[in-house]
Amino acid sequence: MEEYLVDVLFDGKKEQLKTFSASPLEALDSMINFEDVEAVYKITRQTDKKNWSFDNKNLTRLRELRGLINNEGDILQELRRSH
């Protein structure tokens, strides 16, 4: 697990949230699960400061797709396999 800082729009305000995840994809997935996160701007891995930026065009669709998966274990397994 690594520490990531995620720049988001949270409940109408720009915030920086911290999450511990196995990959940047898993960090993004954790933000998708927060209903009050309206946008994800950037994810930064703290160990090497590598970052990923997002345009948020598909955030709503990602939430819809994630809602179709009933098994949380399957989601985590797939996210970790792609890492």
Answer with the residue of higher pLDDT: 1 or 75: 1
Tell me the pLDDT tens digit for each residue of 3-59.
999 999 999 999 999 999 999 999 998 999 888 999 999 999 999 999 999 888 888
- How many beta carbons lie within 10 A of that of residue 52, not counting itself? 15
Could you tell me how far CA 81 lies from the centroid of its own chain?
Answer: 16
DSSP β-bridge partners for residue 16: 7
Is pLDDT above 70 for 82? Answer: no
The two counts, helices (H) then strands (E), for the chain are 3, 4
Closest CA to 29 of 49, 46, 15, 74: 74
Q: How high is the pLDDT of residue 1? A: 92
- Amino acid in position 61: R
